């Protein structure tokens, strides 16, 4: 199941619609990283609202996406982690350390606006956090 990636302004929005296999997740990672360059995106939002489980592979892939996108100059934010999913992730010992998260798409967009604005104000420098 391919994940649709929308372009909105300077941002890419990947909206996961259903359960993903490991191969689907890897494919999403490659597609996003390639598109950050093609569309000169400043921000990436991965919406995981529809995911009913996040296991270690999913978490690792999301972390990889965020780190790779940052290396390509784009900020990533993961939105829509459901309460049960968050609970199971913590029990499993999975963290998204170094990766930004927001409650939903709206908050994610607001977050990226703040981040990219900050970057413009600071000049060309990249923002480094954790």
Residues forming contacts to other proteins in the complex (CB under 8 A) are 19-23, 52-57, 59-60, 82-85, 87-89, 91-94
| Nearer residue to other proteins within complex by CB, 15 or 82 | 82
Please state the closest distance from residue 42 (CB atom) to other proteins, in A.
29
Judge contact between 76 and 43, C-beta under 8 A.
Answer: yes
Please state the closest distance from residue 94 (CB atom) to other proteins, in A.
7
| Nearer residue to other proteins within complex by CB, 94 or 102 | 94
| Nearer residue to other proteins within complex by CB, 84 or 106 | 84
Please state the closest distance from residue 50 (CB atom) to other proteins, in A.
13
| Nearer residue to other proteins within complex by CB, 89 or 109 | 89
Burial class from Cβ neighbours inside 10 Å (0-12, 13-18, 19+) for residue 88 reads middle
Please state the closest distance from residue 105 (CB atom) to other proteins, in A.
21
* Tokens coding 128: 């480094």
**Helical residues (DSSP H) of the chain, grouped into ranges:** 22-38, 56-71, 83-92, 105-121
Q: Alpha carbon 22 to chain centroid distance?
A: 16
User: ∠ CA 88-94-100 to the nearest 5 degrees?
Assistant: 105
């Amino acid at each position: 199941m391919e994940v649709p990636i929308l372009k909105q302004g300077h941002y890419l929005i990947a909206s996961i619609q259903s359960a993903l296999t490991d191969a689907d997740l890897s494919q999403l990672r490659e597609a996003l990283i390639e598109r950050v360059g093609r569309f000169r995106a400043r921000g990436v939002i991965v919406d995981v609202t529809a995911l009913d489980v996040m296991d270690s592979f999913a978490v690792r892939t999301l972390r990889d996406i965020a780190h790779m996108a940052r290396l390509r100059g784009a900020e990533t934010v993961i939105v829509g982690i459901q309460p049960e999913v968050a609970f199971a992730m913590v029990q499993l010992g999975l963290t998204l350390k170094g990766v930004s998260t927001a409650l939903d798409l709206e908050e994610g967009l607001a977050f990226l606006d703040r981040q990219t604005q900050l970057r413009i104000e600071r000049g060309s420098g990249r923002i480094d956090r954790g």
